Every structure is written in structure tokens, then in C-alpha cells.
Amino acid sequence: MWDEVTRPPREEHVAAVVSLALTADARCGDVVVVALDGPSGAGKTTLARGIELALEPTGPVAVVHMDHLYPGWDGLSQAPGLLTQQVLEPLARGGRATYRLWSWVRDEWSGTREVPACRFLVVEGCGSSVGPAGPYAAVAVFVDADVALRMRRGIERDGEAYRPQWQRWADQETALFSADATRERADLVLDTSRL
């Protein structure tokens, strides 16, 4: 599934993001938010794991996966607001953050997860630096790759059963990123076509 990291990220990509994170000013209370945005299959989850491991020696790190926040296959545009309301705003106030988890199997909300106390919060997934979430990101990274490669990665990762959803989701990504100028606003753009 989407959260199974099967290959390491490029070391130079991890190093570039970590370098920015270590020198960034927190914009979410005392928490430095690293937003890994970009289209599906680009390698955001893989990169997030590498960044998490690299930052751990410098202070507590938490990771939020946007896949837990999307309310179904047509919910991409709602997710940045959910991230902001449930995670970023509470952390910015110095409080604890708890967010609802979407069950893709049951097609409904199912449980919650608390964000552990952290110095760094890595938020990975489409929409993690879009709209209301953007101002909280101390480091905004746009992760991309060749379209055909991203689709192949996605189908290999999630299985053929998800192929019909791929274009449906990709159309939402295109609309969201275009309206928000997400790639253009990023602090760093990474191409993972050659992992």
C-alpha cells in the first residue's frame, strides 16, 4: 500500500530538505513544519521516511500522512483545510493536535490519531502546503516525477484495483496545484524520476 516504503530516497534529496529544515524559522508555534507536496507516485512517502530518520538525532520528529486526511476519492480539495484545522492550528497555539483518520476500505471516518510532541513535523502528501496550510510550512517541497513513471509506481504500490481512480485523482491534483501555484511557491522542487 501507499505507506510501504520499498526503496531508499536519494541521499542528496534528504540532505537538501534537512538542511533547509535545520535553518528554518518555525511558523507553527515552536514546530518546524516540512511539507512534502506534489502529485501521487512522486516519492513523497519515501522521502518523508528518509527525512524523519535524518532529523531524529536533532529533536523529536512526527509524520502526518495526508492519505489519512482525504475524505475519499473526491476529497483532495478538502484536505488542506482539515490539516490546518485539526493539526496545524492546534500546534501553532501550543496545544496538542488530534486528527481524524479516513478508512479507505470502509469509505468513512474511522478513529483518530494524536500528533506526538515534536520539534519537526513532516507532513507528506498532495495538498500539504496548499491554501490555508501553506503559511504554516517552514519548508515547502514540491516532489515530482515523470507522469508515466508516477502512474506505474502508483499501480505497483496500490494494485490494479486502483487504476480506475488514478485519473480521477490526477485531475484533482492538477486543478489544486494550478489554482494554488504550489510548485512555483515551493522552497525546493525535487524530481524523483531517477531514484
Model pTM? 0.93
Cβ atoms of 132 and 28 within 8 Å: the answer is: no
Read off the pLDDT of residues 119-164 as tens digits, 9 standing for 90 and up: 999 999 999 999 999 999 999 999 999 988 888 887 787 777 777 8
Read off the pLDDT of residues 10-21 as tens digits, 9 standing for 90 and up: 999 999 999 999
Name the one residue in this structure whose C-alpha cell is 507553527. 28
pLDDT over 70, % of the chain: 96
Domains in the chain, ordered, with CATH? Answer: 11-191 (3.40.50.300)
Name the one residue in this structure whose C-alpha cell is 488514478. 166
Cell numbers linked to 101: 483518520
Cell numbers linked to 135: 503559511
* Local structure of 74: helix, strand or coil: coil
* Local structure of 143: helix, strand or coil: strand
